[in-house]
Structure 1
Amino acid sequence: MTSRNRVIVVAVLLVCAIAAAGAYALSAHQDPTATSTGPSPRATATATANATAPATGSVAWVPHDPRLADVCRTALPGQARDTLALIATGGPYPYRSDGVVFENRESRLPRQRSGYYHEFTVVTPGSQDRGTRRVVTGTAGEQYWTADHYASFQEIDPRC
């Protein structure tokens, strides 16, 4: 098995383990009375399992774009961690526009094909609208945080 194949196998196993841990953790916090129309199939497909729990073990995390600053998942506001948990389970989301394609018009994230990124609102206490905080996910599983409505991004490090 080549080194690249080993990395791919480890990454797949890590994502599966994190998804299982996240589903278990979220089951205790789900509101059975909550209703939702649910995310679009494309938004569900981009939901990433590494949003739910930090990785354990010796597998190193490699940022998708080393030019972007990174931020520990645990250092994010609680509302951002809540949004990451919702993404991992496919919703329900608090805003109708959650899960829509993020166009990356400002090119602040790595350049990808159209439809690669999806955005999700991070609730801002006291805001009368969606506010400026978002989580943007990539199809390959990467996650980005912006507190200033796309003016800057940090890649979310799922290990911490």
Structure 2
Amino acid sequence: MKKIILFFSVLWFSLGAQSHGFDYSVITLTEQDNNRWSLQIKSSLDAFRKEVKQHFSESPYTTPEQFSEQLLEHITSTLKIVVKDKNISLGEGTVSLGHETSVFFKEITMPVKTTKIQLINGSLKDIYRHTTKLLVVEKNSETKSFILSKSNNFTVIFPIK
């Protein structure tokens, strides 16, 4: 009897799991050395495809390389990091395609004595009921976590040390 209950419990909980959900993404902003930061965005390939298809419908991609280029162009034009009222360049990005697709920017330079950062994630906002979890990993500090959604215009302002 215990095995049957355990079986149905595992089955019930697995139905609620959302691996690589279309409407969910994670952004990790990590402090490196010398005012440099890296940023990684993870979401389902389908979510990124939907955004690229919507924003590049007049010039659709035909190869994975073209898709990656269009995705990077879309993200660099819609994801903003603002410090002291200035947009910070994300720099050169790379895309790792897969069921869970990752976009990585490793050379983001913040101004000296930055005390707060505004992050605006417009890169996946067109997806119905999309939510982004933002993780901010500072050196010698606890990881901060924020939820970005339509209710806060996919925007957060947070302090840093």
Q: Structure 2 length normalisation: TM-score?
A: 0.22
Structure (1 or 2) with the larger CA radius of gyration: 2
Which one has the bigger strand percentage?
Answer: 2
